[in-house]
């Protein structure tokens, strides 16, 4: 690992990384914490109205979106991860991904993502998806389901290119994507699926 990749401040326990976006930007992944409110608020207020609608399917107050993203999780039923980069003076959160289990001991969970506009199309959601799938498998979850708007072609491309077996069902006003996550992604996705070097402990499973 290049010394230039070492962040200027110690990484929080449970951080995984560094990994790289497609433009080689080093990024890290860890669970959301209550003290992340300022960074998440910054992420949400940098999002375009289109990105907000793609996540929530309708306009939503940005304060409500921040509160939703800060909900506590327990891994077994819900896991929320942040993707961030370390700048010289601050931590910049560039994405969030989460799964919510359909029910106790259910093998299926719904998955959703939010990525800053400036980082869309660079592999951010793909990194989060891979990390979520690894944690979900440890909890006995074998399938992810995502509900997206028909015009959200960027997210559809993420799922189709994830390396996980993917089924797409088009409904009247939305698209349902089902991913089989029981195994690691297909080798064609190796550039983003390769487990990153760990810094500190792994994300709690």
Dihedral (C-alpha) 187, 141, 80, 29: value to the nearest 10 degrees?
-30
**The token pair that represents 160 in the structure block:** 């189709």
How much is the average pLDDT of 178-183? 95
Tokens found for residue 26: 């080093």
Q: Which residue has the higher pLDDT, 103 or 197?
A: 103
What is the residue-wise DSSP string for 21-35? -TT--EEEEEE--GG
pLDDT at 150 over 80: yes
pLDDT over 70, % of the chain = 84
What share of the chain has pLDDT > 90, as a percent? 70
Using left for φ > 0, alpha for ψ between -120 and 50, and beta otherwise, residue 45 falls in alpha
pTM, two decimals, is 0.85
Confidence of residue 74 (pLDDT cuts 50, 70, 90): confident
pLDDT of residue 8: 52
Give CA angle at 52 (126, 154), nearest 5°: 35
Joined tokens for residue 78: 């819900």
* Residue 155: per-residue pLDDT: 94
When pLDDT is averaged across residues 147-163 and rounded to a whole number, the result is 93
Are 156 and 175 a contacting pair, CB within 8 Å? yes
CATH of domain 12-184: 3.40.630.30
The per-residue b/e assignment along 143-170, b for 16 or more CB within 10 angstroms, e otherwise, is bbbbebbeebeebbebbeebbbebeeee
Residues 165 and 187: their CA atoms lie apart, in Å, by: 12
SS3 170: strand
Question: Looking at residue 90, what is its pLDDT?
Answer: 87
Task: Name the token pair of 66.
Answer: 């921040």
């Amino acid at each position: 690992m290049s010394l230039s990749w070492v962040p200027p401040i110690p990484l929080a326990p449970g951080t995984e990384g560094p990994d790289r976006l497609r433009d080689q930007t080093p990024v890290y992944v860890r669970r959301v914490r209550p003290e992340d409110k300022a960074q998440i608020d910054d992420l949400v207020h940098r999002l375009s109205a289109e990105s907000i609608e793609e996540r929530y399917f309708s306009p939503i107050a940005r304060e409500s979106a921040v509160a939703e993203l800060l909900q506590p999780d327990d891994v077994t039923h819900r896991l929320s991860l942040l993707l961030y980069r370390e700048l010289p003076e601050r931590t910049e959160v560039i994405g969030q991904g989460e799964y919510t289990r359909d029910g106790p001991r259910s093998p299926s969970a719904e998955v959703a993502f939010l990525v800053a506009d400036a980082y869309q199309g660079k592999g951010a959601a793909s990194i989060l998806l891979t990390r979520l799938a690894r944690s979900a498998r440890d909890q006995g979850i074998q399938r992810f389901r995502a509900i997206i708007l028909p015009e959200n072609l960027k997210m559809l491309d993420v799922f189709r290119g994830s390396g996980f077996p993917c089924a797409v069902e088009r409904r009247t006003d939305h698209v349902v994507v089902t991913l089989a996550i029981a195994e690691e992604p297909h080798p064609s996705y190796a550039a983003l699926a390769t487990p990153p070097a760990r810094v500190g402990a792994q994300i709690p499973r």
